[in-house]
Structure 1
Amino acid sequence: MPHPERHTATGKAGELSYLSWPGPQTATPILFLHPVNTAAAVWEQVTAELGGERPAVAVDYRAHGRSGAAGPYQPGDYAADAFAVLDAAGIGRAHVVCGSIGGAVAAELTAAAPERVASIAAFGATLRVGWGADLIDEAVAALRELGVREWFTRHGGEILGPASRPGAAGELVELATVGRDGDRDLDTVIEVLQTTFGQADARAAAASIDALPPTRAFVGTHDPTCPPEMAHELAGSLGGDVREIPDIGHLPMLEDPRGTARAVHDFLSELG
């Protein structure tokens, strides 16, 4: 599988960076939506395992990866980033493969333009995280005390399961920490955290969708951030089903890219 090409698109909040992979022009492309505090590159090993069976793009949301860092940071804003990338890449309709808050982004995408979403495969995903104020304040205080890199170094591995492949925790630190011009800005990371884990809620968007796309939610049995009940809520709202992944945590695409690719392949193959 060739290395992805990196491109830029112009979004509502500024310049967006995204990765693209070639594939047969007769196949409906994949749009990858990453978990918050990672980046498009979290999907690189999954796409390698898929072996170029479909064209694909993966967006760096605003304030993530190599994209610019202007807010706001609600799921609808990340959906706007995804639309900008789809338009720049000339993709009219895509299968959406998403992780974590990407489930909420996928719902916002579908609510805004259902004709552009062929299906949704969600991994460790949710429509709403819903942390309480005390938990958010605790995380913010720790981030201010430790800094972005040290905070993710200490706590990033806590969201991974016992079957996670070696090295995944270190890769997560780099994805969460490195931005466009060096390490990500502390205040921006805090604002993203407060918005994503406290305020973000795409349940109303999901409820507004008339023509639901085929949907499957995959969830690790050891996911502490978006546990199985959140996967069932997402799947129920979008008319889909749920598959549990034994001994995997919050980031199947990073912990078990081969298994994640197999799950994507099998789901899309079922759709014909």
Structure 2
Amino acid sequence: MVEGYVTAQDGTRLWYEEAGEGLPILFIHEFGGNHAAWEPQMRRFARRYRCISYAARGYAPSDIPDDVSSYSQRIAVEDALAVLDGLGIGKAHVVGLSMGGFAAAHFGLIAPERALSLCIAGAGYGAEKEYEDYFRGVSLSVAENFETKGAKEFSKIYALGASRVQFQNKDPRGWAEFAARLATHSDRGAALTMRGVQAMRPSLYDLREDFAAMQVPTLVMVGDEDDHCLQPGIFLKKTIPACGLAVLPKTGHTLNLEEPELFNQLLAEFLAQVEAGAWRPRDPRANPGQIMRTE
């Protein structure tokens, strides 16, 4: 395994780990995780791919800038590009979960020429127009809780969210590892990430025209009990031309850890089809307005 730092545009150091050889896969973690949360995927895909995971700014051992202006959705994409640039990688498969899923989606809009494919998993919180204001308010409340209670204490609440208990019920040991990892978050880094990235990112629905023009092969994954990601997942499926949708049954938000075997199987098949040139835009004959053909 290789590990070390790359430097972002503003001088922030980003910690990365990589393993394996072959076409590169860049894994972008969720708010509640860190680079280590991709271990089931790093172990599986490093057998055939050059796999890279990294800690987002605000997550040790990456730097933790102390100003909210250093955190945004666009900066998150620029950091992903900085990791690729720092490792001399021109194009990569990009896989993201939740906050990382948003980064993967925006990566496809900002730098499509750098993406072999996109896997957008568990992305949707705050995207639904009717919940935009509510989500921003909750995000700011979460930020305050990380600052005042600290990650060690507030993680006990956050880890039991409505879309996390599925993981706890299925795999208590795995969920306990997730919760313990969450408890190590930087109090300040978590708060600034919530304020600068989560609370301020645009709704996916406001980017409809951009997604409709994006030609990058895309797989959207969502758990069927991750309620606020279901409709955004369907929206992305219907909007992005070369997009598939996988809905994992009886599954919450932490897809790659809650259902690692199924996640890896779906991702492996997607990557294989992309590399074979078989993951194409939807056939225009599959007209969504048609129920049955009569002539």
Q: Same fold (TM over 0.5)?
A: yes
Structure 2 residue aligned with 1:29: 24
Residues in 1 aligned to 2:92 and 2:138: alpha-carbon distance in whole angstroms = 36
Cα deviation for residue 22 of structure 1 reads 1.5
Q: Find out whether 1:247 has 2:250 as its counterpart.
A: yes
Q: Find out whether 1:50 has 2:45 as its counterpart.
A: yes
Structure 1 residue aligned with 2:120: 122
Cα deviation for residue 50 of structure 1 reads 2.9
CA RMSD for the aligned pairs?
2.4
Structure 1 residue aligned with 2:105: 107
Between 1:76-85 and 1:133-142, the stretch displaced more is 133-142
Residues in 1 aligned to 2:145 and 2:192: alpha-carbon distance in whole angstroms = 14
Identity of aligned residues (%): 22
Give the alignment partner of residue 157 of structure 1, picking from 152, 155, 160.
160
Q: Find out whether 1:9 has 2:12 as its counterpart.
A: no
Please give the TM-score of this superposition, normalised by the length of structure 1. 0.85
Would you say the 8 A contact 1:164–1:249 is kept in 2? no
Could you tell me which amino acid in structure 2 is paired with residue 6 of structure 1?
E
Cα deviation for residue 135 of structure 1 reads 2.7
Cα deviation for residue 267 of structure 1 reads 0.8
Structure 1 residue aligned with 2:94: 96
Structure 2 residue aligned with 1:195: 196
Please give the TM-score of this superposition, normalised by the length of structure 2. 0.79
Structure 1 residue aligned with 2:151: 148
Structure 1 residue aligned with 2:289: none
Between 1:166-175 and 1:39-48, the stretch displaced more is 166-175
Residues in 1 aligned to 2:253 and 2:147: alpha-carbon distance in whole angstroms = 24
Cα deviation for residue 175 of structure 1 reads 2.9
Give the alignment partner of residue 58 of structure 2, picking from 36, 58, 63.
63
Could you tell me which amino acid in structure 1 is paired with residue 255 of structure 2?
P
Residues in 1 aligned to 2:92 and 2:224: alpha-carbon distance in whole angstroms = 28
Residues in 2 aligned to 1:202 and 1:87: alpha-carbon distance in whole angstroms = 28
Could you tell me which amino acid in structure 2 is paired with residue 189 of structure 1?
A
Residues in 1 aligned to 2:160 and 2:258: alpha-carbon distance in whole angstroms = 11
Cα deviation for residue 108 of structure 1 reads 2.5
Count of residues in Structure 1 that have an aligned counterpart in Structure 2: 260
Could you tell me which amino acid in structure 2 is paired with residue 197 of structure 1?
Q
Bigger-Rg structure (1/2): 2
Would you say the 8 A contact 2:105–2:120 is kept in 1? no
> For residues 110 and 136 of structure 1, do their structure 2 counterparts lie closer, same or farther at Cα, with a shift above 3 Å needed?
closer
Cα deviation for residue 104 of structure 1 reads 2.2
Q: Which runs of 5+ in 2 are unaligned?
A: 277-295
Structure 2 residue aligned with 1:260: 263
Would you say the 8 A contact 1:108–1:205 is kept in 2? no
Between 1:134-143 and 1:234-243, the stretch displaced more is 134-143
Could you tell me which amino acid in structure 2 is paired with residue 195 of structure 1?
G
Cα deviation for residue 251 of structure 1 reads 1.0
Give the alignment partner of residue 230 of structure 1, picking from 219, 223, 232.
232
State the secondary structure of the residue aligned to 2:32. coil
Q: Which runs of 5+ in 1 are unaligned?
A: none
Would you say the 8 A contact 1:78–1:105 is kept in 2? yes
Cα deviation for residue 127 of structure 1 reads 8.0
State the secondary structure of the residue aligned to 1:227. helix
Cα deviation for residue 112 of structure 1 reads 2.4
Could you tell me which amino acid in structure 1 is paired with residue 151 of structure 2?
V
